[in-house]
Each structure stands twice: as C-alpha cells, then as structure tokens.
Amino acid sequence: MTSASVPTLPGIRPLREREFADFQAFIYKEAGIFLSKVKQALLVGRLSRRIRELGLDSFAAYYERVLDPRYPEERIELINSICTHETHFFREPRQFEYLEHVVLPRLRVEAEAGTRPKRIRAWSAGCSSGEEPFSIGMSLLAGCPASAGWTVDVVATDVSTRVLDRARAAVWSLDRSKHIPGDYLKRFMLRGQGEQQDKMKAGPELRDVVRFCRNVERRPALPRSARRRAHNLFPRRALTRAPCTHSETKNSWTAACSACWSSTTRRSSARR
C-alpha cells in the first residue's frame, strides 16, 4: 500500500513516515504488536478520533502526549485503540473438539490412575471480551465436573483494559449465543428479562471459574518445539506460560495445550 492510500483527515496533518515509525516502535515495545507499513491506514483510522478528542492537530502531537509522563493512561488508551478484538464463543470448533474428546478424557484417565490431581487450570491469553475463556470454562466444567471432585480455574488476560471491562461484566447480546452448544447455553447462561431481554449473562457456576487480569504478552515463553506444536493446534492463539503459574508443574499449563505440551515438557525439564 502506498502512502496515497492512507486517508487524510480534515484538521489533522497527514501521517508522516517518521511519525508512523515512532508509533510502530512504541506499540511493538509496549504490547508486542508489530504494525507493518500496510497498517498505516489502520493507525490513522484508529487514532484520529482520540486526536480530535484531545484537540490536537497532528500525529506527532499525539505521540508527544503518549510519551508525556503526566498522562500515563494515554499509553493504555493508545494500545486499546490499536488492538483488534475479533472473537466469538467456541471460535475454533476443532480446538474445542480436541479439548473435549482428546485432552479431557486423557486427564480423567490420569486422575483416576492417581498420576495427576483433579485440577485443571487454563489460560486464555488475549481473551478479548471474554467469549474464549468462558467457552473454555464451559468445556472444562462439563468434562471435569465439581461433582466428580474436579477444580477448574480459567485465567483470562488481555492487554486492552476496554475489553477486559466488558469480559468481566460477562454480558453479551443474545445473538452471540448462536455458537454455543444448546446444552451449554441452557446450563451456563442466563437470559435477560425486561429491558435486558436481548442479552445473556454467564451464570454463577461459570463466572466462578473465570478470572481476569491485564497482562501484556511480550514474547512466547514456551520452548520452540512446544511453540511449533501449539501453533499447529492453535494457530491464532498466543500460548505461553501464565505468569501466576511460573513456579508450578506442567499441570498448571493450559489444559488445551497439555496434550502437545507434556512430551516437550519432559524433554526440556530433562535438559535443565
């Protein structure tokens, strides 16, 4: 894309190459998101409203604002504006099939044999507005129920405070329910009433097992071999070590990742 295809906006000086390079480097450093040159139009589109809101007239002036230590919240605002939050419930059906039909049965067998605790922790890294961690929560609660002695814990993180607020509320428009299997919808979701009738909310059983915190993934923490396997299974996901589980065993890693993870963990632990 040439600079000719980067939109110009009335009242804001057109984005210069140097300015784009500054934002590019800053966003990469802050959030690990690399905006290639073809993303110049996206940057312009995403930042122009904020530049106007602040009464500024150029991207350079906005960049100065972002760096200004008097406005630390502007860094978060910038990252919030840049992130893309495309998501829906059970977004990658084959991954959930794998989780439910391969990973969880294996964990149940191991637990019955006494070789692992009846505890599963999953991590949704880049959880957006919550559809992914709540989908994982539904699969885990259904496959490894508390009534059989299991404890389920889903940690959900994202760099964007805006989507985390929405995820914590756990309320979605009813049309988001179309990807949720009927039995899960009935068991785990509450339907709104009155003014809320076009909404649904995660029920208490599900809300209890999912917790959120802001976290910026800067680099993958899995060994390269595990990353490759994880990528084959979860091409659009960042699968890395959850910071709150760093001192624990491989059982603390995401359940969804455990099938591809177990053999490589053994190999890399042996090397340590």
Query: In the beta sheet, which residues pair with residue 105?
Result: none
Q: Between the CA of residue 68 and those of 42, 63, 74, what are the distances in Å?
A: 23, 9, 9
Q: Within 10 A of 186 (CB to CB), how many other CB atoms are there?
A: 10
Q: Between the CA of residue 180 and those of 93, 99, 213, 257, what are the distances in Å?
A: 10, 15, 24, 22
Between 48 and 215, whose beta carbon lies closer to ligand SAM? 215
Helix/strand/coil for 97:
helix
- Contact residues for 180 (Cβ-Cβ < 8 A; gap 6+): 89, 90, 135, 138, 189
Question: Which residue is associated with the tokens 């994982």?
Answer: 136
Between 122 and 163, whose beta carbon lies closer to ligand SAM? 163
Candidates 31-39, 68-76, 114-122, 249-257: pick the segment binding ligand SAM (CB under 6 A): 31-39
Between 12 and 210, whose beta carbon lies closer to ligand SAM? 210
216 binds ligand SAM (CB under 6 A): yes
29 binds ligand SAM (CB under 6 A): no
Under rule CB under 6 A, which residues in 231-250 are in contact with ligand SAM? 236-237
Q: Which of 91, 187, 191, 231 binds ligand SAM (CB under 6 A)?
A: 91
Q: Which of 3, 22, 33, 211 binds ligand SAM (CB under 6 A)?
A: 33
CB 124 within 8 A of CB 165: no
Site string for ligand SAM, 182-211 (x = CB under 6 A): ------------------------------
Under rule CB under 6 A, which residues in 133-172 are in contact with ligand SAM? 158-160, 163
Binding footprint of ligand SAM on the chain (CB under 6 A): 31-33, 83-87, 91, 126-128, 131-132, 158-160, 163, 215-217, 236-237
